[in-house]
Structure formats: C-alpha cells, structure tokens
Structure 1
Amino acid sequence: MIEVEGLTKTFPTRSGRERIELRAVDGVDLRVDAGEIVGFLGPNGAGKTTTLRMLTTLIRPTGGRAVVAGHDVAKDPVGVRRSIGYVSQSGSTGPEARAGEEVVDHGMLYGVSRAAATARARELFAELELDGLWERKPRTMSGGQRRRLDIAMGLVHDPRLVFLDEPTTGLDPQARANLWEHIAALRAERGATVFLTTHYLDEADALCDRILVIDHGRIVASDTPDALKRQVAGDLVELTVADPSQVGAAVTALAAARPDEPPEVDGVRVAARVREVGDRLPGLVRALDDAGVVLAAIEVRRPTLDDVFLTVTGRSLREDA
C-alpha cells in the first residue's frame, strides 16, 4: 500500500544572514503492506508530520520516491488523493454545517453520487455510533463524537488506505477507548490499511501491527511492538527502601543481580534493568533479607514502548508530547 525509498524534504531558512537548507526528512525508507495497522511515532521536530504531509500530497518531496495506493505522490497526486482517506489532527468539519450533509458533500467531492454518498454516510453513522446526530452541528457535539464524524468524512468514499493523524488527541479515556474499537474495526471489518500517528504509546501498543519511529528525519526503529520492547535490556526492578540508611545495602544487593547498568538511586528508590529477572529475583530477595534491608515496595516492570522510544531517540515521547 505504501512504498517509500529515499524520501527527503528540505526547507530554505536562514542562519543569521546566511541562507541554508533545513533537511526535515532525510532519506526515509518504509513499506506498509495491505491490511496492516502501522503506527508512526516521533519526537516533535523529528520529521513525522512532514513525512505524513508528503505521503498525503499536501507538500511535494524534495527527493526520493513514494508510491501510495499504487500512485506516485509526485507524478500522480490526484490519483493518491482519490485513493486514500485522510483524517487530520485538527479535523475537517465546519462548526455550523449539519453533520450528515457535511459527510455527503465530502463524498460528492470524490465523485460519489448524492444517493450513494447518502447511503454510505448513513451506514457510517450507524457503525460509528452517530445515530441521531445527522441534523446536529459539529459545534454541539462532544469531542469523541466530532472525532468519529471526522473519521466518517475520511471513509465516505470507501478508501482502502486511511491516514489518521493523532486521532484521539484531547479525548477523555472513555472516548479514546471507544475510538480504538472503531479504528481496529477499519481493518477487521473493512479490510482497510491504517497509517496512524500518535503521541499515546498505549494506543500504538494496543492497535498497531508494526511501529515506525522517526528521529532527525530518519527511521530509527521498525518492528512489532513486542519485538521492539524485547530490544530493551531487561525488566525494570524498582526497590523502595523503608529506611534511607539502607539504600547502600539495597544498591549492593541489586548490583549482585547483574544488571546491564549500575543501579540508579533517587532518594529511597533504587532501580536497574535486569535480564532474566524471573531467575534472578529469588536470589535478590534473599540477598536483601540477609542484609536486613526492609522494603516499602518492590516492583518489576516489563519494558514499555516509552522505554523503547527513550532507548532509540534518547528522549521520552511522553515528556516530548
């Protein structure tokens, strides 16, 4: 569905009086197969939005090649636009338009007849839990309802490839979870391919078959969520010591569990990543007991996508967001 080779984008800018070129995207290679849900992650300024805008023909590439839904983005941008659905982060519905009419008009812009667009829009309203909102104006809807309406706009012409740009930003947890179900259904029930950008790592973990991480204009990681998490060195073991005077003994005991890096100390908290923690945890507990260390808490945490992000970019996506 998407084949990208050496995609680049530069922007002219100035450094003092000197005119220079800023390379926002620097030779990106990526592939998305039909039927995949792929998450696209990156820190602010990493090139994520610029890449997405090139793939959706909103800006032209400076170099490289990108074929989207069988159409070259540089040679046949109209063909790309006719073949994809695009749901922008800011949404595309007018606040004063009536919801149903807005979706029908959007379908007609793609060459769908009014009758077919109306039937399709009614179907989408039912699937996306927008029943009873056909005559409502978007400004009177909740955030979750507006985002589902945006998705209906992006699907009314029945595209096989859908781009979702930060689809759940600003939604409450219940609305986010509800929208996740609808996004998963795009592939499960419609066979659509989904290219998703998000700042929510739990969202990428729950929805995506593969994750692409971009940083400094280049793809720095590409794999399934589980495979990426396995690249992080071990599970995080966190010890919270009841008596601050015993922190040193806790450090010694945790170091004996052979972590990849020396334990880190933050007040009464001692932490380190330990491989094969299931085998080493009993020995760690015995060593703490032998040293007389009293713990207020002990926690073992599997690697998360935020740990992956920190490993490959040196930054936490949660902090960056």
Structure 2
Amino acid sequence: MSIFEAKSITKEFNNHRVVNSINLRADKGQLIAFLGPNGAGKSTTIDMLTGLISPTKGKISLSGVKVNSAQFRNKIGVVFQDSVLDHNLTVLQNLITRAKLYPQFSQAYFEELIRQFELENILDKKYGILSGGQRRRVDIVRALVHEPELLFLDEPSTGLDIQTRNKIWDILNEIRHKKLLTIILTTHYLEEAEYSEVASRILCK
C-alpha cells in the first residue's frame, strides 16, 4: 500500500518547464532513486516533494496528509545537499536542538542512532570542524531523530569516498528494513543507485 503519492507534479520558472508531470507512488520500506546529471531537475523535484517549494501543477500527500502541514513535517526527514546545521554548535547541541522540535522524540532511539553512525567520539566537537564524512553522518542522524516515515536524501554522498558512502548505505538499509522507512534519493552516481538493494526503482531525469 502506498503511503506517499505525487500526482502530475510540474514546475515552471519564468515559463521554462524544469520538471514535467512526475507521478510517484512509494510504499513503506521502499527506496526510490532519482538518477540524473547535475541540472536535470532532481533537487527541484525534492524541493517540491518536501514542501520547500510549491509545484506549478500537481498534488502531493503522505499517508493522506497534505504537504506543508505540521503533520507532514513531523512525518518526514530531509538531508539536504548543503547542511542546515550550525557550524558553531557542537554535534550534540545541534542534534538535541533538532530533537526538541518533535514531541515523539525517543532518547533510546537517539542513542541507538548515535551508536549506529559512530558519533560517540565527536559529540562534543563543533560541527564546523568535522570532515565531510562526519558531517554527512551527523546530517543523517539529524533527519532521523524523530523516527520519520519518509526520508529524503538529496545527493547525500557527493564528495564522499566509496568506503564512507557504502558504510552509510549499510546503516540506512538496516534502518529501512527494521523500521520500514521509506527513502527517496537523488543522485548522479549510477553505482549508488545500484548499490546493494538501494534502488527499488530508478527514475532517470
């Protein structure tokens, strides 16, 4: 049964069509990958699906809840291409600040995520001094602290080495199976879209 649906979403800027009538249905625990080169409209699509921008045409809903509502925001997690975390705060301060926004926050699950993504030794370090791989792991934990139904990943492994990329996906696939977490991914790496069992479906843009 589909929990997330986008019907005929289209986006135009100054009469230029960037995204043309995408239809998407996602089930619990499914991973869908948008694969395409830079400039293909992948990030614009994610921005519409997450409610950051409104489609010119089309409708989007998650478990019957419309995009942009408080309920919708509580049900999704987003990892953006560029981090939204405060570089001057520690990893722990950033994560706790995010976690307190959600009434469903679980301390036990938070500690499990810290362990899975191996953040124990960097919790007291300022986010701004971390390596790219460390930052990406923190970004993902930030997006998962409230146990969302749906996780959006916009070019999550750009600039990461293959070992770090594979390690992150090992953890995400484990969570996906255990929690029936639905994941929607954008990437321009063919090997990432095909990695293990990452892509239930690949939509080329």
- TM-score, L = length of structure 2: 0.90
* CA shift for structure 1 position 198: 0.9
Structure 1 counterpart of 2:183, from 191, 194, 203? 194
* CA shift for structure 1 position 129: 1.2
SS of residue paired to 1:109:
coil
Distance 1:173 1:47 in 2: 25
Partner of 1:99: 91
* CA shift for structure 1 position 185: 1.6
* Preserved CA contact (<8 Å) 1:88 1:165: yes
- Note if 1:84 corresponds to 2:76: yes
* Preserved CA contact (<8 Å) 2:89 2:127: yes
Structure 2 counterpart of 1:48, from 39, 42, 48? 42
- Note if 1:167 corresponds to 2:156: yes
Superposed CA deviations along residues 235-277 of structure 1, whole A, max 9, x for unmatched, are: xxxxxxxxxxxxxxxxxxxxxxxxxxxxxxxxxxxxxxxxxxx
Partner of 1:133: 122
Structure 2 counterpart of 1:70, from 48, 64, 74? 64
Partner of 1:297: none
Runs of 4+ with deviation above 3 angstroms: none
* CA shift for structure 1 position 141: 2.1
* CA shift for structure 1 position 80: 1.7
Superposed CA deviations along residues 184-241 of structure 1, whole A, max 9, x for unmatched, are: 1221222211111111111100121211112xxxxxxxxxxxxxxxxxxxxxxxxxxx
Amino acid at match of 1:90: D
Partner of 1:122: 111
* CA shift for structure 1 position 152: 0.5
* Preserved CA contact (<8 Å) 1:120 1:156: yes
Distance 1:103 1:57 in 2: 22
- Unmatched tracts of structure 2, length 5 or more: none
SS of residue paired to 1:81:
helix
Distance 1:123 1:38 in 2: 25
Distance 1:11 1:78 in 2: 27
Q: How does 1:1-321 map to 2 (within 5 A)?
A: 1-12=3-14, 21-73=15-67, 76-112=68-104, 116=106, 118-206=107-195, 207-214=198-205
* CA shift for structure 1 position 105: 0.9
Mark the CA change 1:9 to 1:93 in structure 2 (over 3 Å): closer, same or farther. same
Amino acid at match of 1:97: L
* CA shift for structure 1 position 41: 1.4
* CA shift for structure 1 position 142: 2.2
Partner of 1:236: none
Distance 1:202 1:7 in 2: 27
* CA shift for structure 1 position 96: 1.4
Q: How many residues align?
A: 201
Distance 2:119 2:66 in 1: 35
